[in-house]
Structure 1
Amino acid sequence: MIRAIGPFAVALLLAAPAAAQQVEEGPGGPDRVSLTVYNQNVALVEDVRNLTIPAGRSRQEFPGVSASIRPETVGLTGRGLSVVEQNFDYDLLTPAKLMESAVGGEIGVVRVNPGSGAETTERARVLAANQGVVLQIGNRIEVLRDDGVPTRVIFDRVPQNLRPRPTLSVTLDAEGGGRRETTLRYLTSGLQWKADYVAQFDEAAGKLDLTGWVTITNNSGATFSNAQTRVVAGDVNLINAGGYDPYRRPMPTPPRGGVRGNGTATGGQGALADVYVYPLAEAVTVANNQTKQVGLLDAAGVPATKRYLYEVQGFATAEEPSAADVGVLFRNGSGGADRALPAGVMRVYVKDSNGEPRFIGESQIDHSPAGSEIVVTTGEAFDVTVQPRVVSAERVSGRWRDYFRTRYVMEYTVRNARPQPVTVEVRQRGLGRDTEVADQSIEGQMRDARTLTWSVPVPANGETKLTATITTGG
């Protein structure tokens, strides 16, 4: 449409406002705004404006609201105000929309002679504005096209349905006139956030330094300036793939108080209706079509260890040894990390022999309450391997006559080609009913009803054979 119309400038003559209702345009945007951004592409906006409102019934316009607003979630409060009606106008003013609205009416077409600079103006009736603009000028039909001739189009008015930006209009009934503060709350899609972490791991010291970032992405169609912003970790019940159902569960109003800061103290967060709220340290401007990163966490000296893990699924003999998974384990309850951590990707770095940090892997962590054990799996340890073997298997009678159990004699060969001793956690999964364990070379523990686990110490450049007899049902 823009190419078809050509390089024209738009001159506008504004139509006079309708006299049926008294309209107070108000400021161009909120005086104060706060955001509560959830994990699920939805945010709660609190928009505060000081408006001069006449007594009785009037229509107030709120330009600058999100283009992705959910109008059914709008709530407006203010002293002595009641809401009669509200409308959300989201058909935005663009050259293409102006031309479409002019179909059937007349416009002015101004052409400039490239040689002399002389201008000629003609009145034209717009016949169509689909894949191009078709005009009737006098007795001839023309297509307005980009042919290198400077052209501009003059429209007589702006159609009432077109807005320079998304606008919410509300018809109010006010007890008395005067200036008062109004608070507009609504839900919008197009705002989401995620957490990312960077961990600097020092294996020799048994510590890590942890930095967390909140990344906010705004595709809502509005810019929120100097917004007091909170992000919420945890899922709330949403209907219609990102739409919130206001009739099922009330959306909580974000807390006004609380400790502000980067969350390095326990008070930097708060529990609210079974989710965690993280206030950002300072007000931020989140522009439309922008991704912004803000610091969430900065903790040093968190106790951490390396963990080797090998999981065996069912009972079978492996022809070749397999590498154990290697990861970094820590608890977010000490060393400045004594807080709940929202789900996100954690990336781990270690220093090489020259003292330069090198990336060794990343993994997704879940929402983790304070005091949780967190494991970041960074990859496979090719020099630490496990090879399970079924020494024997025989069917035995169960406690009931209608089923049998199997007695497995298992051997797990754990090898370590590193110059330092390691401990490998071996997990045997796939256990069934009435599991019994006997003749263990290392005492194991039931991790859950279907998983048995052992901590196997392995000497440097050596191996350890773990043996156990496991009797289990299907």
Structure 2
Amino acid sequence: MTSVALVAALAASPASAREAVYASAPGKVSVTVYRDPNRSLGQRIDREWPRGFAMITETRTVTLPPGESTIRFEGVAEGMVAVSAIVTGLPGGTIEKNRNADLLSPASLVDGTLGNRVTITRTNPATGVAASEDAIVRTRADGGIVLQTQAGFEAVRCSGLPEKLTFDRVPDGLSAQPVFSIDTRTPAGGTYEVQLTYISWGFDWEAHYVASHTGKDADGRERLRMRSWLTLVNDNGQSFPDAQLLVVAGALNIASDFQALASPPTARPLYLDCYPIGSTAAGSAIDVPPPPPPAPPPPMMAYEADSIVVTGARMSARGLMESPAPIVAQEENLGDLKLYRVPVAVDVAAKSMKQVAFLDRDEVKAAFQYRYSCSPWGENDEASPLAIWLRTKNDRKNGLGVALPTGGVTLFEQSSRGEQLVGEPSMRDYAEGRDVELELGLSPNIFGRCVKDTKRDPGSRPYPWVTMHTTLTNANRFPVEVRIELGSPAEWKARSKLKGLALRDGQWSIEQKLAPNSSTTIAWDQRSAQAKD
């Protein structure tokens, strides 16, 4: 009686009663992409090896039997970080979760059929006649396969004849797509809508701005037309059709190594090295060098053509800006971060790049400023070109008023021969209301020379005042604004009879207007900040 009760208990145990069920394909998908937290300013996105990540939420339907069951979610991202996965909507919660390590492949197919029947087919090379027979797989695919046939035990591909194996089914647990599974328990069973949320490695995004200088407004300020694009990369082998796409901008404190935690599943190859098919009379094969590699594909062929491609000898803003931008990502607040939501469902394709517009402004007001550094330690006997800076304020009054995520800027200028590329600076994150400054390069028409008018050492006691001056030359036909940067107040004190001397952006500086086709000299005094007044 005791034995019967024990057998009944074992038969009713959860392990023996657990049934594997498959969740449906995702009905709704949300993909939130975060950029590589270690990518520095000016560093472009690595399209071949993106180091950002995404949070993916999939809504699926699953029908569960009463009791314990294993739910298999097929088609998750191969870069999935399994420890981050959360499943909601199940009445019994999650007992255990697992990430399947193997994909369907020749090696995993053999391993999954160990001890089961397969069909081996051999072809006579002389007659072309194929003969098939049943066999049982007796070894794993660890370098060779041993089958048991009516004739005994034999190794595949060691008979000297062309051979192939045919499997009548795919072993349980193997899938061509990455699989995530959980164990759950529900007393009554039923059909449920569940949400699977997880982090996946292998995504990234960046912003890029295209600005065209269109002239001056009535107040004499520079006028720009600006459009910006969000470029997203998905390096995973899985697509997410009709997804709600979001990107997050800002600095995150990421302590986890998502690349190491992802551990994508592998499709193991099968190696059968017995001896080459052929005959000893034919001799050894000639060591022929491999053919040359194919010509490289056109730029960005590895990614879907869902992006801007510029061809031709001269880059033009017209091709970059005249196409309409019907889909514009909308900005939202996410704590101290910024979230950009694409208002319509989009396809995030596998191994692809996608671009979405998020900024389109026709009247951005800005100003050019020319800057030159001159301090007692930086005197120069020869004239040097001044740096060109483009300045504006990120507010609605100046045509902006949105958070500007870090990215590259391509600036075009109108000329008698059409639009010309004049600069490609990098821009850091700018919040709304902040001053925006971009360094464009060196001016070919404005020069300065930094001179110290005394031989006294400003760094020796009693830290005397030294007179400095710079001679500026403007060869342009229009007036310009210049800024002479004198150094940090932690290092220097400064005085001048000019009204333009002030602390700006953490430095002593003098701002002056420079007339067209003119030369002027600006003088001031400096001494060490260690000096006591």
Structure 2 length normalisation: TM-score? Answer: 0.72
Question: Which residue does the alignment assign to 1:413?
Answer: 471
Amino acid at match of 1:410: M
The answer on whether the counterparts of 1:90 and 1:163 sit within 8 Å (CA) in structure 2 is no
**Equivalent position of 2:274 in the other structure:** none
Q: Distance in 2 between matches of 1:100 and 1:58?
A: 24
Partner of 2:61: 50
Say how many residue pairs are matched: 428
Identify which of 48, 73, 94 aligns with 2:105.
94
User: Residue 494 of structure 2 aligns with which residue?
Assistant: 437
Q: Are 1:262 and 2:324 an aligned pair? A: no
1:36 and 2:47 equivalent?
A: no
Residue 408 of structure 1 and its aligned partner are, at CA, apart by 2.3
Instruction: Write out per-residue CA displacement over residues 106-159 of structure 1, whole angstroms, 9 at most, x where no aligned residue.
Output: 7544244678653223558687856x75667867656479x9x97542236544
Distance 1:395 1:214 in 2: 52
Q: Aligned partners of 1:139, 1:43: CA distance in 2, in Å?
A: 50
* Distance in 1 between residues matched to 2:123 and 2:464, nearest whole Å: 93
Q: Distance in 2 between matches of 1:173 and 1:125?
A: 36
Return the offset for 1:300: 0.9
Partner of 1:467: 523
Does residue 368 in structure 1 map to residue 430 in structure 2?
A: yes
Which residues of 2 match residues 149-298 of structure 1 at below 5 A? 152-155=164-167, 158-160=170-172, 162-174=174-186, 176-205=188-217, 206-242=222-258, 262-263=328-329, 268-298=330-360
**Distance between the aligned counterparts of 1:469 and 1:70, measured in 2?**
61
Residue 247 of structure 2 aligns to a residue in which SS?
Answer: strand
Look up the match of 2:420: 358
Q: 2:480 corresponds to which residue?
A: 422
* CA 112–351 in structure 1, closer or farther in 2 if over 3 Å, else same: farther
| Distance in 2 of aligned mates of 1:292 and 1:31 | 22
Q: What is the TM-score when the length of structure 1 is the normalising length?
A: 0.80
Contact 2:392 2:436 in 1 (8 A): yes
Q: Whole-Å Cα distance in 2 between the matches of residues 126 and 352 of structure 1? A: 77
Q: Which amino acid aligns with 1:278?
A: Y
Following TM superposition, by how much is the alpha carbon of 1:336 offset from its aligned partner in structure 2, in angstroms? 5.0
- Tell me if structure 1 keeps the 8 A contact 2:76–2:238: yes
CA contact (8 A) 2:93 2:185 kept: yes
Q: Offset at 1:396? A: 7.5
Q: Distance in 1 between matches of 2:493 and 2:75?
A: 67
Deviation at 1:103, TM superposition (A): 8.0
Name the amino acid aligned to 1:350: E
**Corresponding position of 2:445:** 383
Equivalent position to 1:454, from 485, 496, 510:
510
Query: For residue 26 of structure 1, what is the amino acid of its counterpart?
Result: A
Contact 1:238-1:244 at 8 Å conserved across structures = no
Counterpart pick for 1:345 among 408, 413, 417: 408
Residue 237 of structure 1 deviates from its aligned partner by 1.7
Provide closer, same or farther for how the CA distance between residues 377 and 116 of structure 1 changes in structure 2, counting only shifts above 3 A: farther
Unaligned 5+ runs, structure 2: 1-14, 37-51, 262-325
Contact 1:385 1:415 in 2 (8 A): yes
SS at match of 2:425: strand
Aligned to 2:21: 24
Displacement, 1:101? 6.0
CA-CA distance at 1:321 after TM superposition: 1.4
Distance of aligned partners of 1:277 and 1:144 in 2 relative to their CA distance in 1, 3 Å threshold: farther
Deviation larger for 218-227 or 149-158: 149-158
Alignment CA distance shift 1:242-1:415 (3 Å):
farther
CA shift at 1:345, angstroms? 0.7
SS at match of 2:132: strand
CA distance in 1, matches of 2:374, 2:114: 71
Measured against aligned partners, the alpha-carbon deviations of 1:355-413 in whole angstroms (never above 9, x if no partner) come to x3221111111111112222232221121112111112536899xxxx75342211111
CA contact (8 A) 1:51 1:180 kept: yes
Displacement, 1:339? 0.8
Q: Distance in 2 between matches of 1:437 and 1:313?
A: 10
The 3-state SS of whatever aligns with 2:454 is strand
User: SS of the counterpart of 1:317?
Assistant: coil
For the residues of structure 2 that align with 1:50 and 1:103, how far apart are their CA atoms? 33
Structure 2 residue aligned with 1:72: 83
Please identify, of 49-58 and 406-415, the stretch whose mean Cα deviation from structure 2 is larger: 49-58
Q: Secondary structure at the match of 1:36?
A: strand
Assess if the C-alpha contact under 8 Å between 2:327 and 2:357 holds in 1: no
Give the distance between the partners of 2:475 and 2:57, measured in 1 at CA: 59
